[in-house]
Chain A
Amino acid sequence: MERRSNTGFPSRRSLWIAFLLAPATIIMLAFVVWPLLSAFQLSFYRFDGLKPGEFVWFENFYKVLFQWPFAEATYNALWHNVVVFFTLMVLENGVALLIAYALLKEMPAHRVHQVIIFLPVVLSAVIVGFLWKLLLHPLFGAVNAALGLFGIMGPAWLGNESTALGSIVFANIWHWIGFPTLVLLAGMQRISREVLEAARLDGAGDWTILTRIVWPLIAPSVTIVTILTFIGAFNWFELPFVMADMEGSPAHSTDVLALYFYRTAFGSITSGIQDFGQGSALAVLMFILVAVITFFALRFLRSREIEI
């Protein structure tokens, strides 16, 4: 039904399509593509504080990856991101899987549970972070007060190097667990009842059903949850920023790549000096890391998915 114009002028149809596509394309080009390409470009220049300097090839990358003390900070932060990712996979997604299965049984009040568990998800990370910061206060916080009721002297959760990162991860789990729970539940709900019934009648227990039948069949949901957790863990910023501070205190035990990027690029009270060049190099490296791993992870996870 297209009317190909023979005057050489684009047909009405083409103009119409172009009109539909134009705004979105322009906005994306201006505010996504262009900045990303520029970020690549900035990383090749040296910055003296705020003043752009000369083109220095890969000097910024070299500094961030190999030169002490910058490299040490990079790998320290990277390690924390890795730890956070695996902890979240096990504690957040693992528990979410169990809760989703429990909700699948549709016991009384299961809808209420769904609503409750998702409530923290809609709150801002700023609210969650500040709330838990107050609750975890070593002297006046509710958590240590509750422990005190049992005669346990709670530690300085956010001040102690060994407990700080874990405390922030806990707050993250509290915040986000509703999300993988409902996504996995949605995946489970698509499994036909007959399959589950048959397994039951064969005498299979819950654990067997969960691991042998449900788990393989919810592969698409698992893919989504895994990829999103990965991207979230490596771009983790708001919660540590609010609960620790820009330096990843105490003693950089809660430092993660995004925090390190932010204070490198924009400075902080302590390390006041900022360096756009180095910051951009860090950003480029982070982007490549996440993109490459996501690409391969996606391929692997997709191959597991079977058409239901």
Chain B
Amino acid sequence: MTLGKHARRILLGGIALGMLASSPAFAGELTFWTWRQEDKATYQEIFKDFTAKNPDITVKVEPLPDNTYPTQVATGLAAGKGADVIQTHAYGWLEQFVKANYFEPLDKTNVPNLANFGPDALSALSFRGDGKVYSLPYATMTLGLFVNKDVFEKAGLTPPTTWDEFITVSKALKEKGIIPLANGLGTSWFNEMFVSAFTGPFLGPDFAAKLSKGETTYKDPLYAGALSRLLELRDYMPPNFEGVDYETAGQLFLTGRAAMLAGGSFDIANYRQLNPAINMDFIAPPAKQAGDPPRPSTFFDGGYAVNAASPNKADALKLVNWMGSPEFGNKFSNMLGNISPIQGVDIKDPILHHVADMNKTSMPHLNVVYFRFAKPTGSELIQANITKMMSGEIKPEQVGAAMTDGIATWFEPFKGK
């Protein structure tokens, strides 16, 4: 082989290596990270409005997969290669990032639109350590019950409002060959929501308040009582429900094979898109007794944070501020089907309006709001133990005990209880 051929090969090799080392980056463009892959197109559409007002700033939406989102955000930020604006969850999830100084604190000077938010919203996205807001709240999520109105009508039944009605209706549906409740336990993060949705009406906001202060724990017989209600549901869930994941449950509901589905308001728009013909409603989970106010569980899903190390911080703050405006809130609610906490937003969708009303008497989604600050999180404890309870391996009291003991390792008010 001649030297010339050699040189050519080395040159090509060098170029190839050079190409491998480069990664693309553009100026005047903000990157936005989200775990909502399904919302990518809508976000891009909404951001066009921002660019219309700020012509030198474009926004690139980069979704990261849901189940590795915290990992990828953490590693990206640790590498100094985080996006400019990052969608975050709330409460404990946010804290770990704030402690590492990854996010820019937001206040009325750099994000004036914070004035559009109520105190609950802001505290959900604040750091307990210094009380500052680190992420702009974007939506409350509500856990309730989807019902397929057509299926009910055809069966000659009405959607239940109390627990007893729920059981009666389910028995009747089952006789007609319809699966009453589509849910399964196959998706661990949703199991927690399943528990919350149905136990909420039996616990109430007073319990939640006491729990958060440590005046009572999960060992409270009230909690065990609420959990044992779930055992009654097993007869009305699909066959092999332990393995039925959340997406399959959604399918069963959407295709009319099941009449009801415990779900989150974050799926209202999604389900409409998957089956535009469905005639559904989102109602409060069955109440303890007739006359009780609707008691769905709610939590703030998250916010939009600004990367403290972003090279385009000024622009990023502009974008986040705009995302706190009613203009964004309106589009956000109506196009993405979420309930925006921004004051002055007009929710047009009838189902969402209904949900917003329900939220007035809601109670907090316990583990997500109070117990995700350290390991073991309340979430992982309930998720692991609820499948055991539903398979009959352990009793409801044991679930409460396991959770209390686990949380007690880091939550002072629970210690020794």
Q: Are A270 and B244 in contact (CB under 8 A)?
A: no
Q: Say which residue of B67, B185, B245 sits within 8 Å of A268 (CB atoms).
A: B67
Q: Are B240 and A156 in contact (CB under 8 A)?
A: yes
Q: How far is the CB of A183 from chain B (nearest CB, A)?
A: 34
Q: Are B243 and A68 in contact (CB under 8 A)?
A: no
Q: Are B383 and A272 in contact (CB under 8 A)?
A: no
B-chain residues with CB within 8 Å of residue A161 when the two chains form the complex: 242, 387-388, 391, 393
Q: How far is the CB of A277 from chain B (nearest CB, A)?
A: 12
B-chain residues with CB within 8 Å of residue A139 when the two chains form the complex: 238-240, 244, 248, 252
Q: Are A269 and B70 in contact (CB under 8 A)?
A: yes
Give chain A interface residues in 29-62, CB to chain B under 8 Å. Answer: 48-51
A159 interfacial by beta-carbon distance below 8 Å: yes
Interface residues on A, range: 35 or more
A-chain residues with CB within 8 Å of residue B384 when the two chains form the complex: 247, 251-252
Give chain B interface residues in 79-93, CB to chain A under 8 Å. Answer: 89, 92-93
Question: Considering only CB atoms, which chain B residue lies closest to A67 in the complex?
Answer: B409
B218 interfacial by beta-carbon distance below 8 Å: no
Q: Are A50 and B78 in contact (CB under 8 A)?
A: yes
Q: Say which residue of B241, B383, B406 sits within 8 Å of A270 (CB atoms).
A: B383
Given A49-B96, A139-B248, A271-B380, A245 and B188 contact (CB-CB distance below 8 Å): yes
A102 interfacial by beta-carbon distance below 8 Å: no
B-chain residues with CB within 8 Å of residue A252 when the two chains form the complex: 384
Q: Are B66 and A269 in contact (CB under 8 A)?
A: yes
Given A68-B409, A159-B184, A266 and B240 contact (CB-CB distance below 8 Å): no
Interface digits, B63-82 against A, CB 8 Å rule (1 contact, 0 not)? 00011011100110110000
A166 interfacial by beta-carbon distance below 8 Å: no
B214 interfacial by beta-carbon distance below 8 Å: no
A223 interfacial by beta-carbon distance below 8 Å: no
Given A270-B383, A272-B93, A159 and B242 contact (CB-CB distance below 8 Å): yes
CA distance A140 to B67 in the complex (A): 23
Q: Say which residue of B102, B192, B243 sits within 8 Å of A159 (CB atoms).
A: B243
CA distance A48 to B100 in the complex (A): 8
Q: Are B71 and A270 in contact (CB under 8 A)?
A: no
> Which stretch (B266-274, B281-289, B371-379) binds chain A?
B371-379
Given A139-B240, A250-B242, A49 and B100 contact (CB-CB distance below 8 Å): yes
Q: Are B375 and A271 in contact (CB under 8 A)?
A: yes
CA distance A68 to B100 in the complex (A): 26
Q: Say which residue of B192, B374, B388 sits within 8 Å of A273 (CB atoms).
A: B374
A219 interfacial by beta-carbon distance below 8 Å: no
CA distance A7 to B67 in the complex (A): 63
Question: Considering only CB atoms, which chain A residue lies closest to B376 in the complex?
Answer: A69
Q: Are A267 and B71 in contact (CB under 8 A)?
A: yes
A261 interfacial by beta-carbon distance below 8 Å: no
B-chain residues with CB within 8 Å of residue A274 when the two chains form the complex: 70-71, 74, 96
Q: Are A50 and B102 in contact (CB under 8 A)?
A: yes
A160 interfacial by beta-carbon distance below 8 Å: yes
Give chain B interface residues in 22-55, CB to chain A under 8 Å. Answer: none
Give chain A interface residues in 254-276, CB to chain B under 8 Å. Answer: 266-275
A157 interfacial by beta-carbon distance below 8 Å: yes
Q: Are B99 and A269 in contact (CB under 8 A)?
A: no
Give chain A interface residues in 135-177, CB to chain B under 8 Å. Answer: 137-140, 153-161
Question: Considering only CB atoms, which chain B residue lies closest to A50 in the complex?
Answer: B100
B101 interfacial by beta-carbon distance below 8 Å: yes
Q: How far is the CB of A4 from chain B (nearest CB, A)?
A: 31
Q: Are B74 and A138 in contact (CB under 8 A)?
A: no
Question: Considering only CB atoms, which chain A residue lies closest to B95 in the complex?
Answer: A49
B-chain residues with CB within 8 Å of residue A153 when the two chains form the complex: 239
CA distance A270 to B368 in the complex (A): 9
Given A138-B243, A247-B384, A270 and B66 contact (CB-CB distance below 8 Å): no
Give chain B interface residues in 237-278, CB to chain A under 8 Å. Answer: 238-245, 248, 252
A280 interfacial by beta-carbon distance below 8 Å: no
CA distance A48 to B99 in the complex (A): 8
Q: Are A247 and B185 in contact (CB under 8 A)?
A: no
A-chain residues with CB within 8 Å of residue B185 when the two chains form the complex: 159, 250
B166 interfacial by beta-carbon distance below 8 Å: no
A-chain residues with CB within 8 Å of residue B244 when the two chains form the complex: 138-139, 156, 159
A128 interfacial by beta-carbon distance below 8 Å: no
Q: Say which residue of B66, B92, B387 sits within 8 Å of A250 (CB atoms).
A: B387
Max count, chain B CB within 10 A of own CB: residue among A51, A153, A157? A51
B-chain residues with CB within 8 Å of residue A251 when the two chains form the complex: 384-385, 387-388
B-chain residues with CB within 8 Å of residue A69 when the two chains form the complex: 376, 406, 409
B97 interfacial by beta-carbon distance below 8 Å: yes
B-chain residues with CB within 8 Å of residue A157 when the two chains form the complex: 243
CA distance A50 to B75 in the complex (A): 9
B-chain residues with CB within 8 Å of residue A160 when the two chains form the complex: 240, 242-243, 391
Question: Considering only CB atoms, which chain B residue lies closest to A252 in the complex?
Answer: B384
CA distance A51 to B241 in the complex (A): 41
13 residue pairs from A and B, CB less than 8 Å apart: A48-B100, A50-B100, A68-B405, A137-B243, A139-B238, A156-B244, A159-B184, A159-B241, A250-B186, A269-B67, A270-B188, A272-B379, A274-B96
Residues of A within 8 A of B (CB): 48-51, 68-70, 137-140, 153-161, 245-247, 249-252, 266-275
Closest 8 CB pairs of A and B: A159-B243, A156-B243, A49-B96, A138-B240, A50-B100, A156-B240, A159-B242, A138-B243
Further pairs besides A49-B97, A138-B240, A153-B239: 20, Cβ < 8 Å = A50-B78, A69-B376, A69-B409, A138-B244, A139-B239, A139-B248, A156-B240, A156-B242, A159-B186, A159-B240, A159-B242, A161-B387, A161-B391, A251-B384, A266-B75, A270-B188, A273-B92, A274-B70, A274-B74, A275-B375
Residues of B within 8 A of A (CB): 66-67, 69-71, 74-75, 77-78, 89, 92-93, 95-97, 99-102, 184-186, 188-189, 192, 238-245, 248, 252, 372-377, 379-380, 383-385, 387-388, 391, 393, 405-406, 409
